[in-house]
């Protein structure tokens, strides 16, 4: 019998690509998502519950009526700068609701949990590339939220019947245009969609800061294709199933690109110049983030297949050209399978 995975935030960017891959592998999927980004829903294979994970009645009902094998927990507020302005909302949404989800799953005897953590837990790195032994020094409420949950998971796993894997993502990027999946945030804050839209619509792309401690003064990030992140979730699940252990892993391509280098690469892929302008630094940004992903490669056997920057940008460009976001309500959105409302 096919196993059922509950994906919180499964209508979001990384959740939807992971849902696609799980479906390809024959898993049954239930998604709980409250559509904070007003995104379109393009997953006819999944059972969708449009709700907040804080809705206790929904959680009880889902856990009582379905044999949930594992939970992949993506639902969270994700924008670092916003977290500085709204710490209360971020702690409530990203920590309290996760704690409640964990407590409820344990009551129902569900004990496998895969958590979307972030390299933001490391703060301003003292050495590059960053491995899992780097000190935790988050500088934003967002990074602190993710670290809080990691600490909760560690303590719970010691005492209760819980096995977890935390995946500390670096910068998720790219798309799966063939299956109508890609980055759709409203408002959009991420570099790649904003750069590509600037090219497409002849808008100005804002470079946030040119006085960072990097060769060209702009921030350096490690971009990893969202399908490689999805693949890591599958391996994490296998790890829990086969070894019955818990662990935390960095997840990045191990290559860094500055904002200016990204502009250059995007112009090459799109064969068009971009208008860009230097602005002030954005709160919460650090100079350089590059992963050391040795641990996940060694222990889980993870091998990134799609994280070459040109491939990332090509897939994202195809997605941007195919879609106008925010999108009009499409046939698939009208056909949303809502179980409980
Ligand atoms: N940037 C610009 N102009 C823009 C948008 C971004 O210059 O219009 C720059 C940022 O300053 C940063 C880089 O591009 O230096 C990447 O910014 P993103 O907003 O795309 O990504 P972040 O690194 O800020 O954050 C993302 C996720 C977080 C996660 C983090 C881990 O949103 O959830 O990656 O690095 F924690």
What CA–CA distance (Å, rounded) separates 195 from 205? 6
- 257 among known catalytic residues: no
What CA–CA distance (Å, rounded) separates 265 from 277? 17
Q: Is the CB of 118 under 6 A from ligand 1?
A: yes
Q: Are strands 220-221 and 257-258 parallel, antiparallel or unpaired?
A: antiparallel
Pocket test for ligand 1, best of 80, 140, 222 (most atoms within 8 A of CB): 80
The strand ranges marked E within 174-288 are: 204-208, 220-221, 223-225, 247-251, 257-258, 275-279
Ligand 1 closest atom vs CA 195: 8
Nearest CA to ligand 1 atom 26: 171
Q: Is the CB of 194 under 6 A from ligand 1?
A: yes
pTM of the model: 0.94
pLDDT tens digits, 216-238: 999 999 999 999 999 999 999 99
Respond yes or no on whether the N-terminal peptide bond of residue 47 is cis (omega within 30° of 0): no
Classify residue 116 as left (phi > 0), alpha (psi -120 to 50) or beta. beta
> Of 30-44, 114-128, 165-179, 241-255, which gets the smallest average pLDDT?
30-44
Q: How many Å lie between the centroid of ligand 1 and the Cα of residue 73?
A: 21
Q: Is the CB of 190 under 6 A from ligand 1?
A: yes
Classify residue 218 as left (phi > 0), alpha (psi -120 to 50) or beta. beta
What CA–CA distance (Å, rounded) separates 110 from 241? 13
Of the pLDDT bands very low, low, confident and very high (cuts 50, 70, 90), residue 185 is confident
What pLDDT does 333 receive? Answer: 36
Domain chopping of the chain, boundaries: 4-340
Q: How many Å lie between the centroid of ligand 1 and the Cα of residue 191?
A: 6
pLDDT tens digits, 238-287: 999 999 999 999 999 999 999 999 999 999 999 999 999 999 999 888 99
What pLDDT does 2 receive? Answer: 87
Q: How many Å lie between the centroid of ligand 1 and the Cα of residue 185?
A: 13
Contact 10, 33 (CB under 8 A): yes
What CA–CA distance (Å, rounded) separates 185 from 193? 9
Nearest CA to ligand 1 atom 16: 191
Query: Please, which residues bridge with residue 130 across strands?
Result: 291
What CA–CA distance (Å, rounded) separates 87 from 140? 9
Cα→Cα distances 5→141, 169, 267, Å = 29, 20, 40
What pLDDT does 187 receive? Answer: 87
Cα→Cα distances 16→75, 101, 182, 219, 249, Å = 11, 20, 8, 28, 21
Q: Under CATH, domain 4-340 is a member of which superfamily?
A: NAD(P)-binding Rossmann-like Domain (3.40.50.720)
Active-site residue (options: 27, 122, 142, 212): 142
What pLDDT does 325 receive? Answer: 55
> What is residue 179's DSSP assignment?
G
Q: How many Å lie between the centroid of ligand 1 and the Cα of residue 221?
A: 8
Pocket test for ligand 1, best of 36, 193, 212, 282 (most atoms within 8 A of CB): 282
Q: Is the CB of 191 under 6 A from ligand 1?
A: yes
Respond yes or no on whether the N-terminal peptide bond of residue 277 is cis (omega within 30° of 0): no
Alpha carbon 240 to its chain centroid, in Å, reads 20
What pLDDT does 81 receive? Answer: 87
Q: Is the CB of 206 under 6 A from ligand 1?
A: yes
Ligand 1 closest atom vs CA 205: 8
How would DSSP label each residue in 63-126? HHHS-EEEEEE--S---HHHHHH-HHHHHIIIIIHHHHHHHHHHHTT--EEEEEEEGGGG-S-S
């Amino acid at each position: 019998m096919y196993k059922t995975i509950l994906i919180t935030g499964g209508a979001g960017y990384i959740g939807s690509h992971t849902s696609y891959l799980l479906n390809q592998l024959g898993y049954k999927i239930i998604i709980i998502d409250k559509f904070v980004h007003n995104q379109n829903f393009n997953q006819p294979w999944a059972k969708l519950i449009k709700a907040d994970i804080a809705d206790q009645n929904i959680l009880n009902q889902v856990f009582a009526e379905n044999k949930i094998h594992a939970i992949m927990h993506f639902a969270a507020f994700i924008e670092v700068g916003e977290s500085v302005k709204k710490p209360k909302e971020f702690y409530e949404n990203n920590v309290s609701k996760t704690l409640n989800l964990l407590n409820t799953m344990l009551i129902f005897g569900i004990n496998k949990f895969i958590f979307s953590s972030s390299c933001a837990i490391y703060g301003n790195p003292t050495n590059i590339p960053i491995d899992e032994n780097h000190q935790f020094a988050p500088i934003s409420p967002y990074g602190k939220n993710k670290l809080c949950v990691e600490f909760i998971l560690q303590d719970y796993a010691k005492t209760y019947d819980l096995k977890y894997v935390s995946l500390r993502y670096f910068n998720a990027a790219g798309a799966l245009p063939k299956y109508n999946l890609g980055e759709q945030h409203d408002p959009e804050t991420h570099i790649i969609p904003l750069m590509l839209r600037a090219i497409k619509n002849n808008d100005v792309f804002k470079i946030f800061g040119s006085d960072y401690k990097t060769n060209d003064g702009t921030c350096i990030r490690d971009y990893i294709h969202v399908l490689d992140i999805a693949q890591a979730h599958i391996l994490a699940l296998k790890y829990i199933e086969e070894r019955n252990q818990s662990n935390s892993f960095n997840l990045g391509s191990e290559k860094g690109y500055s904002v200016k280098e990204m502009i250059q690469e995007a112009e090459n892929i799109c064969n068009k110049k971009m208008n860009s302008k230097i602005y002030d630094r954005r709160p919460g940004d650090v100079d350089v983030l590059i992963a050391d992903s040795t641990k996940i490669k060694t222990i889980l056997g993870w091998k990134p297949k799609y994280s070459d920057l040109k491939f990332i940008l090509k897939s994202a460009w195809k997605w941007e050209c195919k879609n106008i976001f925010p999108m009009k309500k499409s046939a698939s959105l009208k056909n949303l399978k809502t179980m409980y409302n």
